[in-house]
């Protein structure tokens, strides 16, 4: 027998509902970029100000979007490799991969300093809270869940962004990509966040937008829901191994079922 999750038209159907039991949740850990806030505009503006400082050509949204989600260091390094790969940035030099990496490494210190300065100056100005986020957070809190925000973004960017968007008050904990030794998709940040919340991973729901979030959650033993509107490294999000998919945080029903 195939039965849809109750009340939730946008969850995938699951087989064998009779063998499933409901999961109770004490907390939710929520991703930031692509889940709470659409920050692609901020990334593009800050990256292009950085590239202009380095006399390098600009990038557009289509280049940046698949690179979001693995932290700012990864984003900048990938963009430097991308622009170094363009003939216009090469001054006729050979385009061997080794020279691209050497270029990116040479540019890194100036790029990182410039990006940080520009990002902090514009943080939130070209970013929007997704529809349904405020209602969704209110509903989750109203159900008595503790909430933590866990992002791969450095904390120095994440905290002012949450404040600027009026979202900081929902979270008892906020951890950036620099909070722990490793970032998502490693399970360590989720395990550490559960520890800080004082909750068991099996009773802590991860809500994110990418395979990064899902892989980290699976490895930590947290059930995971993915939103369908964020960034998933340029891949279709519904192909990711997750417990369910929602079109809006306000559509989350906490009746999640497990074998
Ligand atoms: O790469 C980023 O900065 C975004 O990270 P997040 O999706 O974990 O919030
Ligand atoms: Mg994300």
| Last residue of one domain, picked from the residues 99, 122, 145 | 122
> Which ligand minimizes its atom distance to the CA of 43?
1
Residue-wise burial string across 34-72, b where 16 or more C-beta atoms lie within 10 A, e elsewhere? bbbbbbbbbbbbbbbbbbeeeebeebeeeebbebbbbbb
| Stated pTM of the model | 0.87
CATH of the domain at 169: 3.40.50.1000
First to last CA, the chain: 15
- What range defines the domain where residue 150 resides? 2-38+128-258
Q: Are residues 135 and 118 in the same domain?
A: no
Of 31, 38, 42, 243, which is the active-site residue?
31
Ligand 1 centroid distance, CA of 60 (Å)? 18
User: pLDDT tens per residue, the chain (259 residues)?
Assistant: 333 343 344 455 455 556 667 778 999 999 999 999 999 999 999 999 999 999 999 999 999 999 998 899 899 999 998 887 765 544 444 444 446 677 778 888 999 999 999 999 999 999 999 999 999 999 999 989 999 999 999 999 999 999 999 999 999 999 999 999 999 999 999 999 999 999 999 999 999 999 999 999 999 999 999 999 999 999 999 999 999 999 999 998 877 666 6
Extended beta strands in the chain, E state:
2-3, 14-15, 21-23, 27-30, 37-38, 128-129, 146-150, 173-175, 204-208, 224-227, 244-246, 256-258
CA 32–ligand 2 middle distance (angstroms): 6
26 a catalytic residue: no
Do both 93 and 162 map to the same domain? no
31 lies in the same domain as 132: yes
Ligand 1 atom closest to Cα of residue 157: 3
Q: Which atom of ligand 1 is nearest to the CA of 43?
A: 3
Q: Are residues 190 and 110 in the same domain?
A: no
Q: Are residues 23 and 135 in the same domain?
A: yes
Say yes or no: 87 and 211 in one domain: no
DSSP secondary structure code for residue 24 in this structure: P
Q: Could you say which of 80, 98, 122 is where a domain stops?
A: 122
Q: ipTM value, please give it.
A: 0.97
List binding-site positions: 31, 33, 209
**Do 138 and 233 sit in the same domain of this protein?**
yes
Q: Which two tokens mark 115? A: 């990006």
Which of 72, 93, 122 represents a domain boundary (last residue)? 122
Looking at the fold, whether 146 and 67 belong to one and the same domain comes out as no
Residue 87: closest CA among 128, 129, 52, 56? 56
Number of separate domains in the chain: 2
Ligand 1 pocket mutation, candidates 36, 71, 233, 240, criterion most atoms within 8 A of CB: 71
Ramachandran quadrant class, 45 (left: phi over 0; alpha: psi -120 to 50; beta: rest): alpha
The two tokens of residue 236 are: 């279709």
CB-CB contact of 214 with 240 (8 Å): yes
Statement to judge: residues 201 and 138 lie in one domain: yes
- Do 18 and 77 lie in one domain? The reply is no
Paired with 225 in beta bridges are 207, 244
Whether residue 163 sits in one domain with residue 137: yes
């Amino acid at each position: 027998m195939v039965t849809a999750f109750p009340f939730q038209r946008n969850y995938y159907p699951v087989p064998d509902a009779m063998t499933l039991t409901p999961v109770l949740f004490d907390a939710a850990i929520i991703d930031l970029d692509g889940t709470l806030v659409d920050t692609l505009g901020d990334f593009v503006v800050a990256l292009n100000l950085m590239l202009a400082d380095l006399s390098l050509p600009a990038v557009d949204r289509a280049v940046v979007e698949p690179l979001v989600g693995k932290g700012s260091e990864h984003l900048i390094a990938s963009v430097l490799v991308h622009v170094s790969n363009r003939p216009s940035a090469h001054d006729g030099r050979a385009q061997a991969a080794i020279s691209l990496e050497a270029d990116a490494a040479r540019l890194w210190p100036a790029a990182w300093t410039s990006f940080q300065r520009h990002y902090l100056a514009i943080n939130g100005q070209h970013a929007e809270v997704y529809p349904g986020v405020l209602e969704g957070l209110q509903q989750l809190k109203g159900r008595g869940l503790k909430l933590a925000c866990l992002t791969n973004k450095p904390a120095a960017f994440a905290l002012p962004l949450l404040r600027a968007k009026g979202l900081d008050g929902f979270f008892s904990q906020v951890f950036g990509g620099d909070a722990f030794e490793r970032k998502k998709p490693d399970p360590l940040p989720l395990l550490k966040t559960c520890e800080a919340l004082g909750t068991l991973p099996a009773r802590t729901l991860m809500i994110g937008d990418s395979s990064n979030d899902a892989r980290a959650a699976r490895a930590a033993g947290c059930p995971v829901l993915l939103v369908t509107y964020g960034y998933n490294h340029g891949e279709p999000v519904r192909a990711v191994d997750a417990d369910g998919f929602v079109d809006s945080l306000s559509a989350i029903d906490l009746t999640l079922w497990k074998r």
